[in-house]
Each structure stands twice: as structure tokens, then as C-alpha cells.
Amino acid sequence: MDKGKAVMGSGRRWAVEFTDNSTSNSSRDIPDPPGFTRASHDPDDSAVSKQKKDAEANWKSQKAWEVAQAPFKNLFMMGFMMWMSGSTVHLFSIGITFSALWQPINALRGVGKVFEPYKDNRVDLLAPKLVFIALNLVGLGMGIWKLNTLGLLPTHVSDWVSSLPPAQEVEYSGGGIPLY
Amino acid sequence: MNMAIRVFLLLLIIFSSMYPTLCIYEDQVGHMDWHQQYIGKVKHAVFHTQKAARKRVVVSTEENVVASLDLRRGEIFWRHVLGPKDVIDALDIALGKYVITLSSGGTILRAWNLPDGQMMWESTLSGSTPSMSLLSIPTNLKIGKDDVVFVYGSGCLYAVASIDGEVIWKKELTSEGVHIQQLIYPDGTDIIYAVGLAGLAQFDAYQINVKTGELLKHSSMVFPAGFSGDLSFITSDIAVTLDSTGSILVAVHFQDGEISFHQTQVSELGWDFSGPAVLLLTKLPGMFALEINKSIVFIKVTNEGKLEVVDKLGQSTAVSESLNLSEGQQAFGLIQRGDGKIILSVKLGSDWTSNLLQETIQMDYQRGNAHKVFINTYVRTDRSNGFRALIVMEDHSLFLLQQGEIVWSREDGLASITDVMASELPVEKDGVSVAKVEHNLFEWLKGHLLKLKGTLMIATPDDVAAIQKLRLQSSEKSKMTRDHNGFRKLLIVLTRAGKLFALHTGDGRIVWSLFLDSLRKSETCQNPRGLSLHQWQDPHHHVLDENPSVLVVGRCDHSTDSPGVLSVVDTYTGQERNHLGPTHSITRVIPLPFTDSAEQRLHLLLDVNRQAHLYPRTTEALDIFQRELGNIYWYSADVDKGILKGHAVQNNCILKIADSYCFNTRDLWSIILPSESEKIIATATRNLNEAVHTQAKVTSDQEVMYKYISKNLLFLATVAPKAVGPIGSVTPEESWLVVYVIDTVTGRILHRMTHHGSQGPVQAVFSENWVVYHYFNLKAHRYEMSVIEIYDQSRSDNKDILKLLLGKHNLTSPITAYSRPEVIAKSQSYFFTHSVKTLAVTSTAKGITSKQLLLGTIGDQVLALDKRFLDPRRTVNPTQAEKEEGIIPLTDSLPIIPQSYVTHALKVEGLRGIATVPAKLESTTLVFAYGVDLFFTRLAPSRTYDSLTEDFSYALLLITIAALVIAIFVTWIWSEKKELQEKWR
């Protein structure tokens, strides 16, 4: 089913780049329209843009916090599911447990990516990141705890000695009742 | 495509749920099991060849079997196996329709219906003194309206009505200690003669009225020189015997109560006879036979009472009883052994020099000499007499000869197996494959299509029959090479006759057989007998080109101090590799846990003088043994004295001829059981080859119990001396059963327990760290089974996970019995309905699979019982966790599940033992039950979790996969097209 997309992707023949960040005239073939002065535009706009950027940074940090707190809701959901699945090993409980383990691990692996859109010089992402990591670790802990309640963690002596072969004996003895 | 995946998953689930259950379906019978019926060595045979009925021969055997065999093909029409103590003394046919057997020392007389073998009547003839048992069936004698059978047993003479077994009269003939040796009834008279000897010096003859049992006349005469013991009867009034020195022949005439002796020196007979003579018990017309100087001399008694030597033949001659021919003549058969052949001659009683018949038949050397011959006559088309002969060979096989050819043969030596060993088959190499029919692809596909039809239930009855035939005759299972699962093996069996057979586990056929020279009767070895089989060489790794071999241990005579014989036999070829003997006596054979560079196992053989002899006799073996000398112990259990002793191997023996392979032993410890209160009745040890997977047992609460696993444990059962007899011979108060678990290195008693009010017989089996035993509880009037499990307490403090994680524990380091580990034993008892003949336990390659006990029931069947039923941790109300662990709620008796009979509907008559052999497939164990019959099957105690079943339809799987692949492609192309259309829209 993915084939269609692949075809579309490779089938792109042309494109128009609407954004243009170049400032020097020399690189441009087309002159600026009359009445448009590139030089005067920049300083005039800076105050506005600064304000804009502040707002953006605020928004970003707000969003980052939102993202950081997102796993919290998940935790409750997960906890409920785990409680529902019971403590016996069967398909459902194993599925729940592994998704409970997989989600935090996946999230932790992609911490950088999750906070990528909110990356800004002015935004301090450390705190939300830490919160995000901490919450995911809690989720992971819950998963492990669930794994343990299912008895799938080797925390008992029995898990380590159950396949130990019998010890070799030094002495050997045979015999018995004489052959009749 | 989702749909396709779903279908695939569904099919997978269906396939994976098609495991076989514990019981099998009717059409699976004979698929992986086989059953063979035998009768044992024939000792009496009576032909029944009346015109109308089917021709048959009725035989009784040394395995206490009465059987009727088809004279045309040798098949069994019917068969009855009497108990092990019910020895058949005589067999005959009465009234032309009843087979009469006299058994149990002349106390039980039975009549069996000739056509179908139903028992018609049974009479118990009680008597006081044990004596010979004789049976005489007169042809034409009626007392009142009844035909009569004369029986002498337990010192009494009985006349029994042959129609209903009613005793007509009884006469006690035990006065003055007379031992009756013959009943003589001259046809048409009213007198029966009972003739015998009293105290080896007096000849006695009784004349008894056949109608009333009244003693008419008792005459006796003393012979001062004394008799040798046996009488040979020539005619109805002449008997011949030897004097006590064996040098004088005495002809006794006892006509009409007048007894007279005629003495003849054996040396006077002419020929050159020297040495003592032995009278052979023959029934020849006017003749008798003596064995002198390893040859058989036939002597004729003339009408005047003179003795005449007629012929002298070799020792290996077999003579039949005389047979009445139509013209009042009597004939008899003789079998002589030639080179690779036997010569049958039938002669008339009156004329030794000419033969009525002489035939030479090729006979395999592996069958030994002829032991017995029975002849029967028939009228040929030209109205002359034809003869057929039933021959019993030294290896107990049975042959019917007619017109110079072997009509049929039976391998009845296999009815008396004494020991079993399993051996691997050769590895399949190019050009070695012995399989005759290799499937070609078409055949293979056809077979699987048929199976597919069967699975989908669209097969016609013809197809079903074809499927069944395919299953049973699968060439795969009878190939002569090793298979991947280890199901194909050779069973090497040793029979009482001293013959080795190799049976193929696939179909039970005999691959080779070998009558060992060392176990044949010879001058140096008079009564040779095979004792046991041991694995001598079992090549695994670096010496795979060597063939595996077994050690056969035998003994020359019945006493324990008689010289022993040893042979090593190659199990691939069935050839004797080398043999030794007669040599020192052999009382115990101890296979040691060491092998030399050729993977020959070291064996220690102990003789009567408690000297240990090391085998194989190579310097390499000696080096290995010397290195391990300090750690080798042995123990002896003396049943008569009630002493258990431990010994250690010390230094070389001091003999006249220096023997560096002989070692002295010294006593280390002894356990003396009080002889007034305990008598050893059973012992059990672990099988040396048993594999144990783990030393830990995990309980439901994740705790660990360490099993005390030692190869040096002995289970010993003793009973009160009074309670040795049969069940019911003692009261519960004076009977008890004491069981011990003893370490045989140190003599330490690990566990001792008394069952009050219980008695034997005790059957026990020891495996891993547990022992299960079966006995009778007199108080409850029921059989009981108990289990003892032994756990090592000294290991239980290994609880630090970190240490275990880092491997810093001493759980796998070698242990010594002298460290006296603290053990605890757990035990539990249960009632059991059946009495048990033998107990065994399943064994698997790695010991992972759970175990089943195999019980040989009194009904000669094998019952599988899960070990979980015999678990000392069973409680009445197990917790949820314990239930999950598989602990069954405690009940007072063990269940018998009809589906768990391993032998399903079959019986292994005269069951004596069950051998289990692990297959290479961990889930599966091979079971061989032997007695008079043989039965083999495969068992999977935890079901076949590691392989697909044989019924698995590979064709169906292949078709499904092909269909799914096609479906994937079709749906892919379809979706491509659809997507393209979407885009153009």
C-alpha cells in the first residue's frame, strides 16, 4: 500500500521556491520593484520581529511544557490497562506490558526529535526535557513492575538455578544382590 | 491480504493443536507399536490330526503355556499362560475333544476344549506328599458311563471322569515312601498297575481295580545293591534300571505281582563301555537308552529278558516317544546332528537297521542341537505311512518337518528373555542405505494426497484402508540406519537358552541372532546360562568407525562359584568379537563410569572370593582404573544373612599367577539388619544411564528445593521374616515393612521408614531423587504405593542472586558423600487398585520431559501413571499457585485412567520386565515390555512438544503456503491496478 507514495515522491519533476533569504542584489537577476528598498526595511522591522520572536519563544516554551507533560496522561491510561490485564501471563497482558515498555523507550530514544520544533536560543528546553524523561522513566518503571508481577523478571533464585546440572560425584559405587 | 494472513494463522493454530493425546486412536494401533506372541520351549506335544477337523498340535511349554498350533502354518489357534508356579507336568487329549493338563505338581487337573481353548472343567486334587505327577488316559475304559482319566499326584492315585472332572475314586499310595514312576494300564483289563521305587532299594508294584480303586495286590522286592533312581519301561511288564553305581543294568519283570530281577553288567554288553552309565527316560518300543561316555547307547530287550546293544550314537541325538502305527507296529523318530544339517530317521520298533524314512534337512548352526522330537503319522495317497516331525532345537525354536522340508518354524526362544539392551543402528552413508523401497516423488505425493483426503474427511472406505496400509508398512520405520529422531534402534535381547537376538524397533523383526559358543553346552561348561548384558562399547565421538558392542556375562553352572564366561558381540554384524572363559566366578558386574580411548567401558567383575577383576584387560584401562582406584567402592547385599556391606577396592591380588587386573577388596562398613525382625525382599538403584536435567526443583512460590541426586543411592525394603509368605499369611500386627535409603559409599542411612501392618511383595523403582514402591497394606486390605523424595538441605542457603548471577556458587562443583550433606526426605502413600508385577519409569535423552511410571499389572498390561500423582507435596486443598505448578489435589487412591494403558487392548502374557530407552527426540521414550509375548511402543509423557506428528499433512501445508503466495501476488497486482486507476481519476 505504500507503493503509491513512493511513486509520488520520486515522480516530482519540478518545484518553485517561494521563500528567498538572499539579501545581496548581485545574486538576483530581477531588480526589486520600484519603491521597495531592501536596506530600509530591515531596521524598521526589527522591533516588530523581536516582539514576534518573543511571543514565538513563549509559545514554544509553553508547547514544550505541554509536550513534556503529555506522558503523564499516558501513565494513567497505562496503569488502568495494566490493572485490567491481570497478573497472569496471556496474550493480552503480555501485549499491554510490552507496549508499556516500548512506548517510554521509544519516547526516550526520540527526546531530541520531540523537542526539535521548539528549539530556540531563547527557550530553555532542559527543564521540559527532564520532566519528559522523568515521566517516561516512570512509565518504564511501571512496565518493568508489571513485568515483574507477571513473573517474567529473573529476580528469584529459581530463575538462576533451575537449569543447573547436577553436581558431579567424586565417588562411585556399584554392586548389589549377587546375580542369581 | 489481511484475510489471507488470518486464514494462514487459523491454519497454523489448527495444525499446532493437532498433537496426539495420551491415548491413541483405533487406527493408530500398530503404527508405532508391535506385538509378538510366543509360547516358549515346548516340552510336551500331542498331535490332533483327525480328518474332519483342522489339523493341529497341542503343546505345553516351559513357560507354562498350553497352546494349540495350526499344523499347516504354525500359528497359534489358542493359548493359555498359566501362572509362574503352575508348572505343567503332563498333557494329553481325552475323548478326542478335550486337552487335559496336569499341573502344579499333580494337584490341578484341567480340561480345555480343543477347538477354541475354553476351559471345560478344573479339578483340584489335594494330596499330602509331593511326588511325581503322572497322567494316563486309557482309550477305551468306562467306569459306569464315564470315560476316565488316571492321575497320580501328591502320592495319590485318582480316577477322574473326563467329561466333567469329577473324582470317581481316590487311592493313597504313599505307604512306606513309595515313589510311583509309572502307571500301566493294559488295554481291556480291569487292573491298573502303579509301579515305583521305595527308598532306592525296593521295587514296588501295586495292582488296583480300575472300577473301584481297591488295592488288589501290593508286591515288593528289595534290591540290596540299591537303584540309581529312574526306571525305564520297556513293555507293560518289564522295566529297566541301573544300580546305584551305574555299572549294572537291572531288568525287572513284574508280571502278575511276581517280581524278579535280572542283572547284567554294563561292561558285558560288548562294545567298549567304561565309566558310569546314566539311564535316559525314553519311551521306545522294546528298547531303552543309556548315556555312557558322552554317547547314547540303544539297548534292546528281547522276549527272554536278554539285553542286546543295537546302536551307539552321538550325544546330540534326540529320540521321540514311540508312535502306534495302524498294523500294531510301533515307530519312533531319531534326530541326529550333521554338519550344518540334521538327519531325521523314523524306524520301526522291531527293526533297527532299516528306516521307514530318512530325511536330511539344512539347519542353521545358530540353532544348536535338537533337544526334542515328536513324530506323527499320516496316510499318504499311496496308503503308505508318511511322517511329520516337530523338532525343538537347543535355542528353543520349533520346527515342523514334513517331506524333507521345513514347513514352518517359530522363534520361541524369545518367550524367555532375561536381559535387554538397546543399541544404535549404523549411520546412514552413501551406499549403506539398506532400505529396499525408497519412495519416489510421485509415490510420496500420492501418499500425502491420500492423507490429506483423510484429514478433510473426504476419503472413501477404500482410501481409508489404503491410508492405514501406508501407515503400517511405512518403509521408513524399518530401515537399517539411524534416524534423526532416534526411534530406530536395535534391541539386543538375551534369552534363557543363551541366544542373542537383535530386534528392530521399527517392526520387531529379527535382524540377526547368535547362539554364543560360550553359552553352548560343552565339556568345560556343562550347564551354561546367560546372566546379563552390558554395554561394552558405545562409540559416540572420535571412534565412530568402530561398531558398538555388548558384553554377555554367563555362568557355567547354577551355583554362584561356578566359572563364568564372557563374550563381546558386535551389535551391527552380530558376530562374536572375542570371548573369554571359563574363567573366575562372577557374582556381580559393575560397569564403571569410565571409558578408554576406544570408548570401551571399564567393567569390574567380582567373584565369590570378593576379588575384583578389571575388564577390558588393557594397560590403558588399568591406568585409568589405577588413577580412580581411591574413589571406587562396591557394596554387597546378603539376602540370607540380612547384611549390607560396603567395600573398597584395594591392591592387587596375591595369586599363584600374577594378575595385574585382579584386585583385593576390603570391608568399609556394614549394616546388619536384625534377623528376627527384618528380611531383605527388594532393592532398587538408579539406572546408570539416566540423564538428569537439573538439580533444582522450583516450587510455586519461586522458591528452590535442591534435589539430592546421587548415583550411589540404594533403596532397600525389608519385611518381618514371618511376612515373607503370600499375602494373608500373617496378621497385620506381626507384619511390617521397613524401607531404607542408603548411601552405598559411606553406608549412611539417609532415610528409614516403617509401614506397620504391611507386607510384600515389594516392587520399587528409583529415579533422580525419588523412589516409588508398591506393597500390600494388610490393615486396609489394599495395595499401596508410596513415594520418597530426597532433598539436599545443605544447598538451600544458596539464595544470593548476585552470587548466582556472577557464577560464584559451588552448586556444580564435585561433591563427595563424605561431606555428609544434610538431607530431608518427603514421603506420601496412596492406595492403588492393582497388584503390580513390575515397575519401570520412562527415560528421555536429556531428562527434561516429565516422567511416567510404567506398571506391569497383574493382567499383563502396561499402565502409564504420571509421576505427578506420586508427589509428596500433594495436599487436599492446594493453593492457586500450587495448582498452577501442576500439583494435583490429594486423593487417597491413585486413579487408573483406562486410556493410559500403554498396551491398549493387547496383553503381554507372562509379563516379566519393562525396559525403557530414550529416543534422540527429548519428548519421546521407547518402551519394550517382555514376557512370553513382546510388546514395543513409543511414549511421549509430556506429549510430543518437539515435533510434528507423523500424521501431519505436509501436502496440506505445502498447498496452503502455495495458495497464500499466489494470493499475495494476486492481491498485490490487484491493488497496483486499483491505485493506478485512482491516480488517473
The pLDDT value recorded for residue B724 is 85
Distance (Å) from the C-alpha of residue A157 to the closest C-alpha of chain B? 6
Most confident of B187-191, B468-472, B961-965: B961-965
How many residue pairs from chains A and B have C-beta atoms closer than 8 A? 145
Residues of chain A with C-beta less than 8 angstroms from the C-beta of B813: 167
Question: Given B586, B683, B712, which is nearest A179 (Cβ)?
Answer: B586
Question: Is pLDDT at B658 greater than 50 in this prediction?
Answer: yes
Residue with the larger pLDDT of the pair B466 and B615: B615
Quote the pLDDT of residue B830. Answer: 94
Nearest C-alpha in B relative to A176? B636
- Tell me if chain A has a CB within 8 Å of the CB of B710: yes
pLDDT value, residue B740: 94
Report how far residue B45's alpha carbon sits from residue B58's, in angstroms, rounded to the nearest whole number. Answer: 6
> In which band, very low, low, confident or very high, does the pLDDT at B463 lie, cut at 50, 70 and 90?
confident
Query: Do A169 and B815 lie within an 8 Å CB cutoff?
Result: yes
Question: Which residue bears the cell 503355556?
Answer: B65
Q: Is the pLDDT of residue B62 over 60?
A: yes
Look up cell 487459523; give the residue: B10
Task: Give long-range contacts, CB 8 A cutoff, 24+ apart: B310-314.
Answer: B310/B352, B311/B352, B312/B271
A3/B631 touch (CB, cutoff 8 Å), yes or no: no
Residue A5 has which C-alpha cell?
507514495
Confidence of residue B99 (pLDDT cuts 50, 70, 90): very high
By C-alpha distance, the chain B residue nearest A159 is B702
| Of residues A157, A170, A171, nearest to B798 (C-beta) | A157
Name residue, grid cell 552390558: B534
ipTM of the complex as predicted: 0.75
Pairing of strands B490-495, B417-423: antiparallel
Q: Please tell me the distance from the alpha carbon of residue B695 to that of residue B709, in angstroms, as a whole number.
A: 7
Confidence of residue B959 (pLDDT cuts 50, 70, 90): very high
The answer to whether the CB atoms of B813 and A167 lie below 8 A apart is yes
Q: Inter-chain contact B695–A1, Cβ cutoff 8 Å?
A: no
Among B634, B680, B689, B972, pick the best mutation site for testing chain A contact (most A Cβ within 10 A): B634
Q: Quick check: B631 contacting A, CB < 8 Å? A: yes
Interface probe for A, chosen from B584, B601, B712 (most Cβ of A below 10 Å), is B712
Q: What is the 3-state secondary structure (H, E, C) of B458-525?
A: CCCHHHHHHHHHHHHCCHHHHCCCCCCCCCCCEEEEEECCCEEEEEECCCCCEEEEEECHHHCCCCCC
**Whole-prediction pTM:** 0.85
Locate the chain B residue with the closest alpha carbon to A158: B704
Cα dihedral B787, B792, B793, B797 sign: negative
Q: What average pLDDT does the segment B252-260 reach?
A: 79
- For B406-435, write each residue's pLDDT tens digit: 999 999 999 999 999 999 888 876 544 444
Grid cell locating B361: 534337512
Nearest residue to B512 (alpha-carbon basis) of B369, B427, B411, B436: B411
Q: Do the chains contact at A173 and B979, CB–CB below 8 Å?
A: no
Residue B5 forms contact with A (CB below 8 Å): no
Please tell me the distance from the alpha carbon of residue B588 to that of residue B605, in angstroms, as a whole number: 6
pLDDT < 50 regions, chain A: 1-10, 26
> Where would I find the beta strands (DSSP E) of B302-369?
307-314, 318-319, 323-324, 330-337, 341-348, 351-362
For residue B50, the model assigns a pLDDT of 76
Whether B983 and A4 lie within 8 Å, measured CB to CB: yes
**CA distances in angstroms from B786 to B94, B776, B780, listed in the order given:** 50, 11, 15
Instruction: Write b or e for each residue in B34-63: b if 16 or more Cβ atoms lie within 10 A of its Cβ, otherwise e.
Output: bbbbbbbbbbbbbbbeeeeeebbbbbbbbb
Sheet with B295-301, strands from edge to edge, namely: B277-284, B287-292, B295-301, B307-314
B560 close contact with A: CB closer than 8 A: yes
In DSSP terms, B134 is beta-bridged to B152
DSSP percent split of chain B into helix, strand, coil, nearest 5? 15, 45, 40
Mean pLDDT of the B947-967 span:
86
Residues of A whose CB is below 8 A from B637:
175-177
Give the pairing type, strands B98-103 and B88-94.
antiparallel
DSSP class of residue A160 equals H
Predicted confidence (pLDDT) per residue in B782-801, tens digit? 999 999 999 998 887 777 77
Measured CA distances, A120 to A51, A54, A115, B947 (Å): 15, 11, 10, 61
Question: Which range has the worst mean pLDDT, A130-134, B100-104, B142-146, B214-218?
Answer: B142-146
Query: Cell numbers of B155, please?
Result: 502320592
Cα–Cα distance measured from residue B116 to residue B111, given in angstroms and rounded to the nearest whole number: 12
What is the reported pLDDT for B21? 42
Do residues B778 and B757 lie in contact, with contact meaning Cβ atoms separated by under 8 Å? yes
Query: B539 CB contacts (<8 Å, ≥6 apart)?
Result: B545, B546, B547, B548, B598, B599
Alpha-carbon distance A91 to nearest alpha carbon in chain B (angstroms): 14
Q: Which residue has the cell 529312574?
A: B230
Which residue of A1, A88, A171, A180 to mutate against B (max B Cβ within 10 Å)? A171
Mean pLDDT of B152-179: 84
Q: Determine contact, residues B747/B766, Cβ cutoff 8 Å.
A: no
Beta carbons within 8 Å of B629's beta carbon, 6+ residues apart: B649, B663
- The pLDDT score that the predictor gives to residue B433 is 42
